[in-house]
Amino acid sequence: MRDYPAPFARWLAGVSLLLLVELGAVLSFVLGVANDLLRLTLGTAPLSGAVSTSQSLPTLISRDLVPNRGYYTGEEWAGTFLGLEPKYAWLIRVALVVVYGAVWCGWLWFGYITFRRHYRVADWTPTDDIIDRLRSHQWGKFGMVIVALFLLLALFAPVVSPTTMEQNIQDPYSNQIQYFSEETGEVQTTTAGAANRQSTSVGSVARNVGPWEYDNFNRFHPFGTLPSGKDLFTFLAYGARISLFIGVSSMLGAGALAMSFAMISSFYKGAVDLALVVTSDSIQALPVLMILILAAVVFSNTWIATVYNGALLFIALFTLIYWPYLWRAIRGPSFQVAEEEWIDAAKNYGQHPAQIMRKHMAPYIVGYMLIYASLTLGGVIISVAGLSFLGLGITPPTPEWGRAISVGQPYVASASWHISLIPGFLITLVVTAFNAMGDGIRDAVDPQSAEGDEATAAAAGGGGA
């Protein structure tokens, strides 16, 4: 890069521009995470002022850029973007977020191409073939697109939501809204909480705000409202954050343990591998759902259950529960790598075992870990939703998809069907997408796995005939 800095400088300038567009949101997120960590470790939150200041910084993609909250005067809409109807203003804002995400994906791909053309010593590496196979894998690309949209929903929840977190969930009675009263013919003010009480969806046609409808206070609801009158789309958008946070954190923890144990067991073999086999089999023999329910009840009144409304507790549980599954999945590839000649050469040269594992074994195992972690992440999302459905998951008021299904269960066969069916469909779609992405990565990394699946399917078809 020192000899030929121009391509990298161009790419870095593009990244800086994309970050500058969302500078306020990026600083707010980073400072907010640091402030939460300091609150947990020190008991104080010294960065609260900096977080508030960063939140006031302008961002290009924000609610203020394309406002969708307004009221209808009987002749026109006031307070919305260009006087548009709120649903169209909201659609424009969502489209901007999708375009912004697509530009990020395209620029990251351009960075990879720049690296290949200008800075990589080799003209070809096995990674090129992996990426080419993944680009032609239609099922895998479908999964990646849905996962990318899920990530955008979680990351940009404050922007894509038709209302704010404060108005909808945290403190609706402290936030006021304006609406046009047809009875008086004037613009009136009320609290969001009072408006929610009159916008409930409780099964009957007369008391229901369904998908793509407005309530009596000129508020647009893309997915309708909950039985409490709160906006369902906003609830699900912020709920995606907790599902993503628990899923990714759990897989990072479980994956780190699984990779470490796989390399240790394949390097030392013998008693070490036997001890890990017995330990993993013992954990896998436990009924997962019962363990989760028991732990949720036992630790419900402890400090760990208060961190992020119980998210830390479930991250720890899923990490301990899922590492044996991941370890079993990559144990075979790890043993294969441990028998390679370069590992023996490194041993003969006197390299430390930790250095051998980190430099010569981990790069060949991490691809398999990525595959099985992506396949397992969907199960974590389902588990969190199931626990919340039972009332044992993330505690209110933090939104979670399973709780939406639970509160809407009595209204499935009524006019308020949307409360349970929409989040249920989204959970199914996201879990399927993670599995599809995992299948695509697996077939790209190991083409023989795809050939084996086709051969199995052909054999099954022939047998059926």
260 lies in the same domain as 347: yes
What is the structure's pLDDT at 457?
A: 39
How many other CB atoms are found less than 10 A from the CB of residue 416? 26
The yes-or-no verdict on residue 269 having pLDDT over 70 is yes
pLDDT at res. 464: 40
Q: Are 380 and 273 contained in the same domain?
A: yes
The answer as to whether 17 is a domain residue is no
Closest to 220 (Cα-Cα) out of 91, 324, 341, 112 = 91
Give which of 190, 161, 209 is closest to 416, Cα–Cα.
209
Query: Which pLDDT belongs to residue 183?
Result: 81
- Are residue 299 and residue 190 in the same domain, yes or no? no
Query: Taking 60 as the threshold, does the pLDDT of residue 274 lie above it?
Result: yes
> DSSP label at 358?
I
What 3-state DSSP class applies to 459?
A: helix
- Give me the mean pLDDT over the 172-194 stretch: 90
Residue 406 confidence (pLDDT) above 80: yes
Quick check: 369 and 255 in contact, CB under 8 A? yes
**Portion of the chain with pLDDT greater than 70, in percent:** 96
Same domain, 267 and 288: yes
pLDDT digits (tens, 9 = 90+) for 83-111: 999 999 999 999 999 999 999 999 999 99
Cβ atoms 419, 408 nearer than 8 A:
yes
> Is residue 95 domain-resident?
no
pLDDT band at 221 (very low <50, low <70, confident <90, very high): very high
Structure tokens at 181: 């009263």
Residues 415-444 have pLDDT tens digits of 999 999 999 999 999 999 999 999 998 888
357 and 270 both lie in a single domain = yes
Please report the pLDDT score of residue 461 as a whole number: 39
342 and 303 in a common domain: yes
Residue 145, Cβ neighbours under 10 Å: how many?
Answer: 14
Q: What does the pLDDT read at residue 58?
A: 67
Q: Total domain count for the chain?
A: 2
**Per-residue confidence band for 184, with pLDDT thresholds at 50, 70 and 90:** confident
Both 247 and 305 in a single domain?
yes
Q: Which residue has the tokens 């929610």?
A: 196
For the stretch 352-367, pLDDT in tens is 988 999 888 988 888 8
Residue 413 reports pLDDT greater than 50:
yes
Contact predicate 235/226, CB 8 Å: yes
Least confident of 37-46, 71-80, 187-196, 277-286: 37-46
Report pLDDT for 451.
56
> What's the rounded Cα separation, in Å, for the pair 192 and 215?
12
pLDDT tens digits for range 332-345: 999 999 988 888 88
Domain assignment present for residue 116? The answer is no
The chain-wide mean pLDDT, for the chain, equals: 88
Residue 261 structural domain? 242-460
Same domain, 200 and 267: no
Report helix angle 232-268 to 362-389, nearest 10: 140
Q: Would residue 91 count as lying in a domain?
A: no
For residue 288, what pLDDT is reported? Answer: 84
Does this model's pTM top 0.85? My answer is: yes
279 and 387 fall within a common domain: yes
262-271, 386-395, 401-410: which has the minimum mean pLDDT? 386-395
The CATH number assigned to the domain holding 425 equals: 1.10.3720.10
Per-residue pLDDT at 455 exceeds 60: no
Q: Which among 126, 144, 143 is positioned nearest to 444, based on CA atoms?
A: 126
